[in-house]
Structure 1
């Protein structure tokens, strides 16, 4: 006699297989050349099963990017803490972000998303919205530090965007747009510390 939740676990396994197969297809073939038929064949499921889980290729692609982001943030405590030095908290936050930006799977899929967005503005907007949601944690941290009187700015969102730009200007856009290699561990450490110090010199 099957266990009561066996079908649910089978459904979960199929969904995971679809996501894994789709990520590989998008990375290898690009967004335009990847079809739901190819994803279904690669995952070993029917095309109908793929559509049962994901209504469109766009939603499937956006889910993959979100899953990558979430998995990279699992160990991160984004909550502002009054009992910890401000710089130490900021270094932790930026180091976690750096790990995501240096994940080769994320980088490849982000590149695919940018190319796909040229032909599908709606896809680009959806992807940016999902990624912005995940980046909201840093913004919440900045706002909490402002409320606590440890950062001084009338525009916390603008300050957060400046901080994001300091990191992405060296550890994301050059790799995505220019094909530059990922930063070494030493370069990552240097960038995180310099960005934190510049930010705190302006706002602390």
Structure 2
């Protein structure tokens, strides 16, 4: 589905209501056990309206993946800046990442996508592939910092996973799998700053 990552217009409120209903029903009953009739009832629209927007449940799930993909756009613009301190740049990147991970709608989308990928790996493969492409932005930043002689020459893919994985350990997986509440601002700051400082203590090349 090649829908652009733009906010829905008011005329598309029914479409969004259908998507929101599908998210709620997929979370409650799973993809296979959810009927289009139930989605229509939850959305408060007719079954015909649902099919006018989405010919099948697979199309609905594809839209959920698309919105999950659009939700991760915050990190798309993260160029390496040669004259800006590494710590400042990393903090800015991780604050963007934290904002995404703690967003309630993003978490709902992620719960549905992850649950379905467990039951149907082939259906979840697109999600895994596309989200990995989003995280490549951090890897590219790390490669640029290495080329500038600011970070040690280590595997940038591994370093990227380690850096972002620290945030997910505290601010994503507990919320997705255990329904824990989002971190409060003080906890977010502690996780981000500690993660950056630990990362730089190992990877940064100092004069």
**TM superposition score category, shorter chain reference:** 0.7 to 0.9
Distance 1:26 1:166, change over 3 A: same
Q: Among residues 13, 18, 39, which one is paired with 2:15 in the alignment? A: 18
Summarize deviations over 1:72-125 as a string: whole Å, max 9, x none: x18x74011011111000000000000011001111221222221221111221
Unaligned residue ranges in structure 1 (runs of 5+): 1-10
Match of 2:51 among 38, 47, 60: 47
Measured after TM superposition, the shift of residue 139 of structure 1 is 1.3
Q: SS at the partner of 1:56?
A: helix
- Alpha-carbon displacement from aligned partner over 1:35-75 (angstroms, at most 9, x marks no partner): 455556738535144239x97233222112112223xx18x
- If the length of structure 2 is used for normalisation, what is the TM-score? 0.79
Per the alignment, residue 179 of structure 2 pairs with: 179
Contact 2:65–2:109 (CA under 8 A) maintained in structure 1: no
| Closer/same/farther in 2, CA of residues 36 and 66 from structure 1, 3 Å limit | farther
Where in structure 2 are the equivalents of 1:161-200 lying within 5 Å? 161-200=161-200
Q: How does 1:20-39 map to 2 (within 5 A)?
A: 20-30=17-27, 31-32=30-31, 33-36=33-36
Residue of structure 2 equivalent to 1:59: 62
**CA RMSD across the alignment:** 2.7
Match of 1:113 in 2: 113
TM-score by length of 1: 0.80
**C-alpha distance in 2 between matches for 1:98 and 1:191:** 10
Aligned pairs for 1:122-161 within 5 A: 122-161=122-161
Structure 1 partner of 2:5 = none
More moved, 189-198 vs 105-114: 105-114
SS at match of 2:54: helix
Deviation of residue 179 (structure 1)? 2.3
Q: Choose 12-21 or 156-165, whichever is displaced more.
A: 12-21
Which segment is superposed worse, 134-143 or 192-201? Answer: 134-143
Tell whether the 8 Å contact from 2:91 to 2:196 is kept in structure 1 after alignment: yes
| Residues in 2 aligned to 1:151 and 1:20: alpha-carbon distance in whole angstroms | 47
Unaligned runs of 5+ in 2: 1-7
- For the 8 Å contact 1:145–1:151, the answer to whether it is kept is yes
